[in-house]
Amino acid sequence: MMDRMHEMYEDRGYCYFAVELLKTGEFVWLIGLSWKTFKADFTPCVDIGWRLDKRFWNQGYASEGAKRCLVFVSGSGISEVLSLASIGNHTSVEVMKKIGMSYWKDFQQRDLTYKPDISTLHLYWISL
């Protein structure tokens, strides 16, 4: 995965960034941006996302990191950023709202039909 992120950063100027706590150096996990190309009426697109170790949930790290990612790409020519979360992932939806994103629609992710419990996703967007 790190090779893919390095390649995406080289190609696009962004990726999912490794995140660690400044005070302790603990690895929190990943927050960043990704280029999505799966088949949908809104792709290709820039997606913002976060994957944090459960120990760091509900402490503001996802919101803080996501806001910094939006600042990082502002002025880069990217005009909008999307974010997806499976139905029921209320925590990620709250992060999307906290960083100023608006609900667009729900959709079925065809690549996840083998996992019906997570194949329906909320889609949020923000204009930069």
- Could you list the pLDDT tens digit for every one of the 128 residues in the chain? 889 999 999 999 999 999 999 999 999 999 999 999 999 999 999 999 999 999 999 999 999 999 999 999 998 999 999 999 999 999 999 999 999 999 999 998 877 676 667 789 999 999 99
Q: How many domains does the chain have?
A: 1
Calculate the CA 37 to chain-centre distance: 14
Residue count (the chain): 128
In angstroms, rounded to a whole number, what is the distance separating the alpha carbons of residues 95 and 54? 15
| DSSP 3-state of 85 | strand
Whether residue 81 contacts residue 33, with contact meaning beta carbons closer than 8 Å, is answered with yes
Neighbours of 84 (CB within 10 A): 22
Q: pTM of the full predicted structure?
A: 0.92
Domain at 94, CATH number: 3.40.630.30
Which residues span the domain enclosing 58?
2-127
Neighbours of 76 (CB within 10 A): 12
